[in-house]
A and B are shown apart, each in its own frame.
Chain A
Amino acid sequence: MSDHPLWRRLQPFVAVLLVVGLIGAPLWLVVVTAGKSQGEAVDPNFSLPSHWQLLDNLRQVWVDADVPAAFLGSMLIVVPTVVLVLILGSMAAWVLARRTSKLMAVLYAVGISGIILPPAVVTVVLLLRQLGLAGTAIGMICVYLGIYLSTVIFFVTGFVRTIPESLEEAAQIDGAGPMLVFRRIVLPLLRPVLATATILICLYVWNDVFYAFFVVGGRLDTLPLNLFRVASAGLYLNNWHLIFAYVILMSLPLIALFAVAQRKIIAGITGGAVK
């Protein structure tokens, strides 16, 4: 905001202080508590464990809470959801962006309404029962698709409108049909916005516990559902060292993904606005 020399000097210190206080402290609590013994972790505090047993705690959670099964359950749901939501969403968004009519405007409004309108979590269970999909991964994937297609349609439609149509026309003149144009010309151009959408949808679905509770709760385990169950079942009551070990296990895949694709993610989220 200010270019005042004094502020220029002070700003880095303020930034570091805020990071340490606001982000560092809670994360520190997670790591040190996950490294403590049960006795030490009963009252979580910022002190170092008298002796580190982080790996033992991670191992205990891994085995006792059946993390591998929950991890598989999460992957089984997240991967198809992300792939399908991107394909179906960008197909629709492409046509929505290119055709202009009253009908299209209405369809677009319906298509993006799900960004804001809350899904009907209770009756969707009834619907899935009637369809024979209750408690199944397919049912869960369909529910997530219904919820997050709006997000993809919103992002991608806005992006397609910034791509000149002449690229498509060149291919059309050469005789390429819509499917070919979409696959060979449009999809590759959408890469930046699809990267952003992938991150967002992964984030939402990987961390979701609310919708999963209604749709697959008790039938299929995902990481957040499993954490929720063990943490509220009393099994881990006050076993903060195990809860936080679980938190570390669960957060690692997303943090790793973020570390790899960090520049892309930030550029993706901000790029649309800066262009």
Chain B
Amino acid sequence: MAVSVETPARVRVPRASGPAPRVIRRRTHPMWFLFPAYAVLVVFFVLPTLFNFVYAFTDWSGFKSAINPVGFDNFTALVSDGTLFRSLRITLIYAVLVAVFQNAFGFGLAVLLERDTVVNRIARTFFLVPVLMSALAVGYIFQAMLKPTGWLADTTWTLLVVSLIHAWKWMGLSMLIYLAGLKTVPEDVMEAARIDGASRWRTFWTIRAPLLAPAVTFTVATALLGSMNGFDIVQATTGGGPARTTEILNIFIYRTFGQGLFAQATTMSLVLFLLVALLAFPVIYLLRKREEIL
């Protein structure tokens, strides 16, 4: 079977101007257009992040006005009572579970609802409703539904249940992205494969699935890294319990901040930042290569 799968997902429009002279660009696309956006980004995003690297090493708290440097005391305290690695482990497990479930559900739904029929169009709309709802509301709904079952009070399995709820909320978005990905496969390629005698199963896995790679990259990355920054669903279903077994980093940050322990909260905020950054750099690289998909 010789089927070309090199059909580009999108035809790039060639630049009309060719290698544009810098001088002209400076006039037609001036740098000051960047200024307002980057000023806001630097002051309200970059600066607080830099603050994290400072205040994590202080005794900043809600109980006194002076802020003194304390070196690595916050880290050693969080490591020695086991909180740091426990929260890290819970956050990572949660994120991986969410990424797996959300993509599995989204992919399954996309394949199931791919044909453009009335029933499918209506069904797709329904699966988008949870995406629109507030995560907090979703959490309360499932708390009401699952409380009698005891599924939210198990120290081993509750994390899994909560990650399923998170995946339930966002599966509609993954479905949309996968549906878009499935549509990028040109009909004539499929037909060529059929004429060559490829089975449906084989056509699917050797032609269509590989072309979904950009969609997979995008939704796996956003689900994985996004759920590390999760809060609402866990807070509304378990609040971090039972016995803190679902206490992801942001729940810890929320709790300690509320207690006035600002330095501890900042330290965990820095830990979360480093965790995501460490995992994100390879991912951003991939996203930039795949940015055509979304």
Q: Is A109 touching B288 in the complex (CB atoms < 8 A)? A: yes
Q: How far is the CA of A210 from the CA of B48 in the complex (A)?
A: 16
Q: How far is the CA of A166 from the CA of B25 in the complex (A)?
A: 14
**A5 close to chain B: CB less than 8 A:** no
A123-B266, A181-B28, A273-B181 given as contacts; is B45 within 8 A of A209 (CB)? no
Q: How far is the CA of A92 from the CA of B126 in the complex (A)?
A: 35
Q: Is B44 touching A124 in the complex (CB atoms < 8 A)? A: yes
Q: Is A95 touching B183 in the complex (CB atoms < 8 A)? A: no
Q: How far is the CA of A116 from the CA of B217 in the complex (A)?
A: 14
**B72 close to chain A: CB less than 8 A:** no
Chain A interface, >50% SS class? helix
- Number of B residues whose C-beta is below 8 Å from A? 108
Instruction: State how many angstroms separate the Cβ of A235 from the closest Cβ of chain B.
Output: 14
In-complex Cβ contact of A145 among B13, B40, B49, B137 (8 A): B40
A11-B115, A114-B41 given as contacts; is B176 within 8 A of A266 (CB)? yes
Q: Is A203 touching B229 in the complex (CB atoms < 8 A)? A: no
Q: Across the interface, which residues of A come within 8 angstroms of B25, CB to CB?
A: 98-99
Residues of chain A having any CB pair with chain B under 8 Å: 1-4, 11-12, 14-16, 18-19, 22-24, 26-27, 29-30, 33, 43-44, 88-89, 91-92, 94-96, 98-99, 101, 107, 109-124, 126-127, 142-143, 145-147, 149-150, 153-155, 157-158, 162-166, 168-169, 172, 178, 181-182, 203, 206-207, 209-210, 213-214, 223-224, 227-228, 231, 240, 243-244, 247, 250-251, 254-255, 258, 262, 266, 269-275
Other than the known A1-B111, A99-B25, what 13 A-B pairs have Cβ atoms closer than 8 Å?
Answer: A18-B112, A23-B129, A91-B37, A92-B33, A95-B31, A114-B45, A116-B226, A120-B52, A123-B266, A126-B262, A146-B48, A244-B140, A272-B180
User: What are 10 sample pairs from A and B whose C-beta atoms fall under 8 A apart?
Assistant: A12-B119, A29-B145, A92-B34, A113-B280, A121-B257, A127-B43, A158-B294, A164-B13, A272-B180, A274-B183
